[in-house]
Amino acid sequence: MTLSWHELVTAATDSATALLEKSEGDWSRPAGTLEWSCQQTVSHLSQAVTGYAGLLIAQPKDRYITLMTHIDAGAPADAKAEGIRIAGRMLAGVVRETSPEARAWHPWGTSDVAGFSAMAVTELLLHSRDIALTFGLDWEPSDELCAPVLERIFPGAPTGHGAAETLLWSTGRGDLPGLERPAGWRWYGDVR
C-alpha cells in the first residue's frame, strides 16, 4: 500500500520521535558526523518541519517565512521528542489540507506539497539518525519511507540499491558499493 504524503510525514514523525525519546545524555555533543550539536540539530529539525508548514500556508514567492522555532535546551529527551511530534503533526495537517497546486519558495527550489513533505521526511529521518548515532542507538530508516523521497527530491540518485541506503548515500551519510560518497549534496525541490 502506498502512503499519501501526509501519511508519510506522520510515519516519519512517529519513527523519528520514537528514536529521539531514547536519546538520553549529553545533547551538547556533535550529532553523528555533523558539526552541529545534538541540541542544535533537534532545534534545526523543529525549525525545518515547522517552517515547511509555514511556507505551505504563506506561499511566499521569494523569501523564507519569519516564524522561527526551537527546542528548549534544558528539556529531557521525551520533551524534545514531543516538540518534534508537534511540528510533524502540524505539517501533516497542513499537507492534508493544502492544494497540490500550491507553490512556495525554498532556497533549493520553489516547491509543492509533495516536495515539502519529502524535505520534511528527509529531515526527520536523517537528523534523528544523526542524533541517535551519538547516543549509541543502532537504527536505519525504512525503505518504505525513503523511496518516495528519493523519487521526488533526489531524481538523480543511483538505482539498484535499497531506498534507505541510497538516501543515506545521497546525503553523504552512507556508502554504496562501487560509488564514491558525494562531496556535497542537495535535494531538488523544484516541481517537476
Report pLDDT digits (tens) over 92-107: 999 999 999 999 999 9
Per-residue model confidence (pLDDT) at position 75: 96
Tell me the per-residue pLDDT of 172-188, one tens digit each, with 9 for 90 and over: 999 999 999 988 899 99
Q: What is the DSSP string of the chain?
A: -PPPHHHHHHHHHHHHHHHHHT--S-TTSB-TT-SSBHHHHHHHHHHHHHHHHHHHHH--SSS--S------TTS-HHHHHHHHHHHHHHHHHHHHHS-TT--B--TT--B-HHHHHHHHHHHHHHHHHHHHHHTT------HHHHHHHHHHH-TT--SSS-HHHHHHHHTTSS-BTTBPPPSS-----S--
150-178 average pLDDT score: 96
Is 46 within a domain? yes
Q: What is the CATH number of the domain that holds 153?
A: 1.20.120.450
| Whole-number pLDDT of residue 1 | 56
- Has residue 175 been placed in a domain? no
Whether 122 shows a pLDDT value over 90: the answer reads yes
Domain assignment present for 138: yes
Residue 76 lies in a domain: yes
pLDDT at 134 over 60: yes
Please check whether residue 180 lies inside any domain of the structure.
Answer: no
**Tens of pLDDT along 14-68?**
999 999 999 999 999 999 999 999 999 999 999 999 999 999 999 999 999 999 8
Answer yes or no: is 186 within a domain.
no
Q: Is residue 119 assigned to a domain?
A: yes
Q: Provide the pLDDT for residue 183.
A: 83
pLDDT of residue 192: 82
> For the whole model, what pTM was predicted?
0.96
In a domain, 191, yes or no: no
The set of cell numbers assigned to 136 is 549509541
Q: Which domain holds residue 51?
A: 5-170
φ, ψ (nearest 5 deg) of residue 176: -125, 140
- Name the domain count of the chain: 1
Set of cell numbers at residue 123: 529531515
How confident is the model at residue 29, as a pLDDT?
A: 98
